[in-house]
Chain A
Amino acid sequence: MSLSEKIRVFLRLHAVQFLWNFKGMQNVGFYYAILPALRRIYAGDSQGLEQAQRRHFGFFNTHPYFAPICVGVSIKLEEDLRAGKGKPEMIPVLKNRMSGPLAAVGDAFFWETVRPTVGALAALSVYALGLSSASTIRLLLLLWILYVLPVEWLRWQGLSWGYLHGFDVVKVLKERGFQKRMKRLRTLGMFLLGGVTVGFVMLYDDRIFLWCCRAGIAGLLVLLTLRKVSPTFQLYILILVALLVSYLGTMAGLV
């Protein structure tokens, strides 16, 4: 794979979900991303190209940041097939067999850990630095860059890992230690969360009544979350409780 082809595939991988649908999920995005490589591999073999296009237009779904790994592996498999190794019907099977575990790792690492952490740090920076501070914007920008750069690195490297290592890419991912990093990040997140929770209860002001209200609200929200009440519904409950507390507090002269 030449550098120019790799760049073209890499750029196209940013649109892997551009036609996400319930039938094929990321199938069109995958097909669009791998097309430059297929055209190179099957140059002068229109029938081979047509069959390859059919193979890569079927159902496909994984985490968008890990899709480059699957594309890299698929390019490698197509090259092997062109060289007379492997069976064509196995390529979609192997591709989809790989996409499931990668989706699980990607969802757990990025969607369930890194993205909420970035969101929480951004929210914390807004609360800590204030709404009118230029530092808040700078910090948000910094957090955004700190998120995007590794993601782009992963997309670029993922393509190379998939292409160079084929199915051994799983070993590469293990070496990268996504699971370990995720566990550490979550533990650190919970530690910080403990501190922020105490700050939330105690820092707004020092009236004991309001401390109790906020501690009670946190407890109520934990209870509602354990009972699987949606956050949207919880917000409306929160607003109603606040209006009620405000009314009762005013009546009793506590607020």
Chain B
Amino acid sequence: MMTTGTILAAGVMAGATALDRVHLLQWLIARPIFSAPLIGYLLGDLPGGLLIGTWIELLWISVLPIGNFTPPDSHAVAVCAVALFAPWHGPAPGAVTVSSATGVLAVAAAIPLGILSRNCDIGIRRRLAEKMEALMQEPPPYRFGPPLFLALSSAFLKAFLLVVASAVVAVSVRPIVRAVVSIGGIRHGLEMAATWIPALGLVQLARCYCGRSRKAPFFIGAGLAAAVLIIFFLRRCVVGVPVP
């Protein structure tokens, strides 16, 4: 059940986990697959957090923070999407079971927030670069407290505010979203998109593993899996054993 307290707790958790993305530890806590369930748990929707986290992890599995490239903020998208999804998906009068359809809508709505967050990151890093340029001219010991405060507080506050704002907006537009998703054609289309999202992850992962230069193991794996599944289908047809 979402209350002001749980929304604020989710905001604080989002802010804390955001620090793992670049600033501290790099223990993967900020990866969507781990941060989204945490936010989902706090908002009373752990399965929703797992579902959203899995999709966003797969979506940006091959986007890498190399050099001075600033990737889209997958953490912000994950925590915001969960904050949007929890009220849309949660119990309410006349609610229908539309978990995967509302999940797709939540992810699609949260992605622009991730891009906004990335642009904020770039702006802050430019500001920090200016401060750093001035700091490098000074004699040691270097007093980097103010820029450090700017870096950490901006990362924390950005995630905190995005989650709180997403949750508040999600609650206010909940009737509209539920009305849209309850339209049969739209719901079915979104549910179908939800079943296709893993394909996006598979392709991105293949790109990560340099897919074209490792065709043989891919096709061996595919052939073995196809053989196993065909055997199961044949068994089902002949003796009625269900496919796992």
**Are B202 and A193 touching (Cβ within 8 A)?**
yes
Complex interface: chain B residues within 8 A of A21 (CB): 125, 128-129, 131-132, 147, 151
Q: How far is the CB of A128 from chain B (nearest CB, A)?
A: 10
A188 to B141, CA, bound (A): 49
- What 0/1 pattern do residues 33 to 50 of B give for CB contact below 8 A with A? 110010000000011101
**Are B51 and A131 touching (Cβ within 8 A)?**
yes
- With A53-B140, A148-B27 known to touch, is A195 a contact of B204 (CB < 8 Å)? no
A135 within 8 A of B: no
| Number of chain B residues whose Cβ lies closer than 8 Å to a Cβ of chain A | 93
- Please tell me which one of the listed residues B136, B193, B199, B214 contacts residue A200 in the complex, with CB atoms under 8 A apart: B199
Q: Kindly identify, within residues 157 to 207 of chain A, every residue whose CB is under 8 Å from any CB belonging to chain B.
A: 186-200, 202-204, 206
A234 to B28, CA, bound (A): 25
Q: Kindly identify, within residues 62 to 102 of chain B, every residue whose CB is under 8 Å from any CB belonging to chain A.
A: 62-68, 72
* Stretch from A2-10, A72-80, A88-96, A214-222 forming part of the interface with B: A214-222
B10 within 8 A of A: no
Chain A at the B interface: SS class: helix
Q: How far is the CB of B84 from chain A (nearest CB, A)?
A: 15
A147 to B30, CA, bound (A): 14
Complex interface: chain B residues within 8 A of A23 (CB): 128-130, 132-133, 136
Complex interface: chain A residues within 8 A of B60 (CB): 231-232
Of all chain A residues, the one with the shortest Cβ separation from B204 is: A231
- Please tell me which one of the listed residues B108, B148, B217 contacts residue A236 in the complex, with CB atoms under 8 A apart: B108
A127 within 8 A of B: yes
B186 within 8 A of A: yes
A131 to B36, CA, bound (A): 13
- With A53-B141, A116-B205 known to touch, is A199 a contact of B229 (CB < 8 Å)? yes
- With A199-B225, A200-B199, A246-B192 known to touch, is A189 a contact of B209 (CB < 8 Å)? yes
A53 to B141, CA, bound (A): 7
**Are A198 and B229 touching (Cβ within 8 A)?**
yes
**4 closest Cβ pairs, A-B complex:** A194-B221, A246-B189, A243-B189, A242-B193
